[in-house]
Amino acid sequence: MFIFDAHLDLAMNALEWNRDLTKSVYQIRESEKGMVDKPDRGNNTVSLDAMRKGNIGICVATQIAGVKNKINPHGWSSMEQAWAQTQGQLIWYKEMEKNGEMYQIYDLNTLDNQIENWQKETKKKPIGYILSLEGADSIVNIDYLEKSYMLGLRAIGPAHYGPGVYAHGTDSNGSIGQKGKELVKKIEELNLILDVTHLSDTSFWETIEIYNGNLWASHNNCRKFVNHNRQFSDDQIKEIIRRDGVIGVPLDAWMMVPNWIRGKSTPETMGVTLNQMIENIDHICQLSGNSNHVGIGTDLDGAFGIEQTPTDIDTIADLQKIPLMLKKIGFSESDVEKVMNKNFINFLKRVWK
């Protein structure tokens, strides 16, 4: 089945992890043997080749560069440095386009082109990508958001980890403040998609109160199963549904089972499989009363690898296991198609009409 993945940090992997994503997953793993600079070395799951094999023809691909804070000490020392990093990431995407590896989607025409071209039999299909900014720390001032829009940015999350420049993110809590309010209003004015993923509870509700535009959560699980601020409460999920948004369900193990201890727990010892993803998908459907507001947002290789993914995932191509699992719990073919691609595609068609 055709798959739309609403969250992949492709450029981060290419530039910061120095991975050649035009190679196979196994070639990348082989090239990282013996490397110990990052916990996920040799454990990657994503490459453009693996995406093609898994029929993942469209993704939301990120630019990501935060400013240092007490939760994220590995961020950049200034907003200008963060901006420069995101622009380097953009150049990588453009190089992939030039080489026929990827194709940027930024309006209805390019969306329809990608869907149509993907169905054609070709030796190497370009992966369609919608550009998203994860965390807004690199937006030096509001003019930079307009620049980003002109460069093809179509979605943005105001915060990532900790207290950001514009909002509070995961493992922090607080107001969006005046700068955050100005950013949110500009997001609405530009018809950018607001990604509410990572917003702290207070920042989430303050943002919802003043924002009247389109929103989604590209990669968020349910607090019902893992009681942590990184997940959304039922009330937050219901609000996204009420706003006609879509929630992408991710595959980071610590967000899938309670009591995960970083560096100690393993997917095997904690029993992490795609079943937990199915539970999250089903719970969102139960809250909405239909299958119209949930999709796939894996976050695979988002600074973790198979040491922190479900045991039944070796590469991203294994997402093809999900349709049968959904059918086994009673999802119709139409419902499965909505989860795997249609909900996010229909969302974009509505936003960009």
The predicted-structure confidence for 230-243, as pLDDT tens digits, reads as follows 999 999 999 999 99
How open is the CA angle 144-150-151, to the nearest 5 degrees?
A: 90
Would you list the domain boundaries of the chain?
Answer: 3-352
> Residue 124 pLDDT > 90, yes or no?
no
Residue 123: the pLDDT is 78
> Residue 353 pLDDT > 90, yes or no?
yes
> Residue 122 pLDDT > 80, yes or no?
no
Which pairs from 280-289 meet CB under 8 Å and 24+ separation?
280/221, 280/222, 280/225, 280/249, 280/256, 281/249, 281/326, 281/339, 282/329, 283/222, 283/224, 283/225, 284/222, 284/237, 284/241, 284/247, 284/249, 285/335, 287/234, 287/237, 287/238, 287/241, 288/238, 288/241
- Give 352's pLDDT tier (boundaries 50, 70, 90): very high
pTM above 0.95, yes or no: yes
User: Does CATH number 3.30.365.10 belong to domain 3-352?
Assistant: no
Q: Tell me the two tokens of residue 249.
A: 């369900």
Q: Dump pLDDT digits (tens) for 308-346.
A: 999 999 999 999 999 999 999 999 999 999 999 999 999
Residue 74: the pLDDT is 83
pLDDT above 90 covers what percent of the chain? Answer: 96
Alpha-carbon distance of 116 to 108, in angstroms, equals 12
> Residue 73 pLDDT > 90, yes or no?
no
> Residue 194 pLDDT > 80, yes or no?
yes
Q: Dump pLDDT digits (tens) for 6-59.
A: 999 999 999 999 999 999 999 999 999 999 999 999 999 999 999 999 999 999
